[in-house]
Structure 1
Amino acid sequence: MITVDFRRIPIKPGHRILDVGCGTGRHMAETVRRPDTMTVGTDINGKDLLDARNRLAELDKIGEIRGLWRLGIADITALPFADAAFDLVICSEVLEHIPAHRAAVTELVRVLKPGGDLVISVPCYLPEKICWTLSKTYRSTPGGHIRIYSREAIQHLITASKVQLQGCHRAHSLHVPYWWLKCLLGLHRTDRLLVNTYHRFLVWDMMRHPKVTRFLEQLLNVVMGKSLVVYGRKSTLHPPSRQPSIPRHRLPSHLIG
């Protein structure tokens, strides 16, 4: 499930891309298709990184990969990369989990080149608020969402780090009823026919991409998109960080690929 609209981002040969909180590699599976690029994916979940490696290995087998890639464990609030090391930084559905979210955004901007693009997505306010209302388990699960962002709040968080907003959009409205149903009928229940049926529909939709559901989702995204995706560009006047960093031409030794 791709949240970022890559048509909005100029990815060119030679670009270095960082996907922070890459999970199982859903966005990396898109960026590695760009020729002569380097994509680095980081996450704190080792199992997800292994799944990402398997996904990318499968793409490689069928000849879909045209760029280089690496994976590694890293803390978003202390990224092991040099200042201005990347042309594009992606952080999708991560900040709502992070207590020190301001420090996290500072790190995302630190490793981004002046003039580079930053893409951050978080759950939209209203669908997320309804999930919190419907299910105590949803809002209190360890490692889950610890805050709800309004559009103004996430945009202010980004611009406070001297990043200029380039636009935003909502995505994945068809997934909203699924999460409402799970919250209402039991977040961790696996025997709910309605929830399981809707999940099968979502899988079918993601595999087939029928025009009718693509059109319907675009209409519904305006009012009930599940994710808010914000695009920004780092100021070319952004001062260098004083934080220690590794030499830019080196990647941490624990990265795997």
Structure 2
Amino acid sequence: MEIAELQRITGAGPDHWWYRERRDLVARELRRLGGPGHAVDIGPGTGDGCAVLLAHGWSATAVDPVERAVELCRARGAEAYWADPRLLPLPSGAYDLALAFDVLARYDDDHVAAAQLTRVLRPGGTALITVPCDLTLWSAHDVALGRVRRHSRDTLAALIAGAGLSLDAMWSRNVLLRPVVRLRRHRVDGWETRHRGPVANRVLGWMMAAERRLPAAGGLPGTWLVARAHRPAE
């Protein structure tokens, strides 16, 4: 994540529907996992994920290749390191949970970063991964975010398996908004800069909440994929 992107995220504010949804995703998964443990957030950006982890009683470690992101995570109370996700300065088998949100799609050698994710998890530990999906949605927006690919379900499943993780679940997000995203993304020449007022922000948040209540929505095409996997017991 580049400095410019961090500035955009920070400028969007904590109530922005997209980043609120990501925080809610982490909170839901923590409730599913039960008691607190040790977690690492790879590519944490402004540290929202670390804040959720800490609020739920988890210890939080962050690794990011951007120094400003490391500073923001430390300000949240997390232990944080400046390093490449493909070479994590962390002990093997030390973490109960690893988060990698929109990180793996930034590297041509994403298999190296995925293998590092597996290495730092304890046997039985959980990985929660998100990636942008559907190559037909590729646009200047992806380039501005430093992405090198958008995944399909098959390519993400293969990446996870190749890293030595066992896939537990995979589902789509932004299913309801996908038609609008597909129409608009090819009309902008970079980062989506259009400001959304509080009403639009609220409506978009409602749509994401409604999507969670539609049982079949997770199997339909969206704009990003979420995968939950675990490191098999040795």
Give the TM-score band, short-chain normalised: 0.7 to 0.9
Q: Which amino acid in the other structure matches residue 155 of structure 1?
A: A
2 CA distance for matches of 1:122 and 1:165?
Answer: 15
Q: Paired residue for 2:62?
A: 41
Deviation string, structure 1 residues 70-101 (Cα, Å, up to 9, x no partner)? 12212111101111011111111111101211
For the pair 1:186 / 2:189, whether they are aligned, the reply is yes
Q: Which amino acid in the other structure matches residue 48 of structure 1?
A: A
2 CA distance for matches of 1:153 and 1:46?
Answer: 31
Alpha carbons 1:16, 1:86 under 8 Å: kept: yes
Q: Paired residue for 2:141?
A: 138
Q: How well do the aligned residues superpose, as a CA RMSD in angstroms? A: 2.8
Shift of 1:140: 4.2
Q: 1:38 to 1:124 in 2, by over 3 A?
A: same
Alignment of 1:113-128 (within 5 A): 113-125=122-134
Task: State the secondary structure of the residue aligned to 1:184.
Answer: coil
Shift of 1:102: 0.8
Structure 1: gaps (5+ residues)? 58-68, 238-257
Q: Paired residue for 2:166?
A: 164
Aligned residue among 71, 96, 110 for 1:87: 96
Larger Rg: 1
2 CA distance for matches of 1:202 and 1:47?
Answer: 30
Query: TM-score by structure 2 length?
Result: 0.75
Alpha carbons 2:93, 2:120 under 8 Å: kept: yes
Q: 1:232 to 1:189 in 2, by over 3 A?
A: closer
Alpha carbons 2:41, 2:98 under 8 Å: kept: yes
Alpha carbons 2:73, 2:79 under 8 Å: kept: no
Structure 2: gaps (5+ residues)? 1-18
Alpha carbons 1:122, 1:228 under 8 Å: kept: yes
Shift of 1:188: 4.9
Q: Which amino acid in the other structure matches residue 46 of structure 1?
A: E
Alpha carbons 1:84, 1:112 under 8 Å: kept: yes
2 CA distance for matches of 1:8 and 1:155?
Answer: 24
Q: Across the two proteins, how many residue pairs are aligned to each other? A: 208
1 CA distance for matches of 2:149 and 2:50?
Answer: 26
Task: State the secondary structure of the residue aligned to 1:32.
Answer: helix
Query: TM-score by structure 1 length?
Result: 0.69
Alpha carbons 2:63, 2:88 under 8 Å: kept: no
**Structure 1 vs Structure 2: percent identity of aligned residues?**
23
Task: State the secondary structure of the residue aligned to 1:196.
Answer: coil
Deviation string, structure 1 residues 195-245 (Cα, Å, up to 9, x no partner)? 434x65553357xx54x66215654655342220111111112xxxxxxxx
Shift of 1:45: 1.6
Q: Paired residue for 1:112?
A: 121
Name which structure has the greater RCO, CA cutoff 8 Å, separation 6+.
Answer: 1
Q: Which amino acid in the other structure matches residue 214 of structure 1?
A: A
1 CA distance for matches of 2:67 and 2:228?
Answer: 28
